[in-house]
Amino acid sequence: MNRSTPSKSAESRPATRTAGRRESAAARGQRTAAIVARLGRAYPDAECSLAFANPFQLLVATILSAQCTDKRVNMVTGGLFSRWPTPAALAAARPAELEAVIRSTGFYRAKAKNILGCCRALVDRHGGEVPDSLPDLVKLPGVGRKTANVVLGTAFGRAEGVVVDTHVGRISRRLGLTKQPDAVRAERDLVTVIPREHWIAYSHWLIDHGRAVCTARAPKCERCPLEDLCPKVGVKPKSRKKDRLP
Ligand code: SF4
DSSP notation for 89-123 = HHHTS-HHHHHHHHGGGSSHHHHHHHHHHHHHHHH
Mutate to test the pocket of ligand 1, among 223, 232, 236 (most ligand atoms within 8 A of CB): 232
Residue ranges, CATH 1.10.340.30, the chain: 55-155
SS3 content of the chain, % helix, strand, coil (to 5): 60, 0, 40
Note the pLDDT of residue 20: 53
Cα separation of 98 and 95, whole Å? 5
Q: Which residues of the chain have pLDDT under 70?
A: 1-21, 239-246
- Answer yes or no: are the C-beta atoms of 204 and 46 closer than 8 Å: yes
- In this prediction the pTM is 0.85
- How close is the Cα of 162 to the center of ligand 1, in Å? 20
What is the set of active-site residues? 146, 165
Mutate to test the pocket of ligand 1, among 175, 205, 208, 217 (most ligand atoms within 8 A of CB): 175
Note the pLDDT of residue 13: 45
- How close is the Cα of 157 to the center of ligand 1, in Å? 28
- Whether 221 lines ligand 1, by a CB cut-off of 6 Å, is yes
Task: Give the amino acid at 46.
Answer: A
Fold assignment, 8-16+23-42+162-229: Endonuclease Iii, domain 2 (1.10.1670)
- How close is the Cα of 41 to the center of ligand 1, in Å? 16
Give SS3 for 128.
coil
Closest Cα to residue 50, out of 80, 68, 66, 71? 71
Residue ranges, CATH 1.10.1670.10, the chain: 8-16+23-42+162-229
- How close is the Cα of 145 to the center of ligand 1, in Å? 26
In tens, the pLDDT along 181-202 reads: 999 999 999 999 999 999 999 9
Closest Cα to residue 195, out of 9, 1, 4, 2? 4
- Whether 171 lines ligand 1, by a CB cut-off of 6 Å, is yes
Cα separation of 114 and 154, whole Å? 21
Note the pLDDT of residue 45: 95
- Whether 191 lines ligand 1, by a CB cut-off of 6 Å, is no
Note the pLDDT of residue 3: 43
Note the pLDDT of residue 83: 98
- Whether 174 lines ligand 1, by a CB cut-off of 6 Å, is yes
- Whether 35 lines ligand 1, by a CB cut-off of 6 Å, is no
- Answer yes or no: are the C-beta atoms of 183 and 146 closer than 8 Å: yes
Note the pLDDT of residue 22: 82
Mutate to test the pocket of ligand 1, among 178, 233, 235 (most ligand atoms within 8 A of CB): 235
DSSP single-letter state for residue 151:
I
CATH class of 55-155: mainly alpha
Note the pLDDT of residue 6: 56
Cα separation of 42 and 39, whole Å? 5
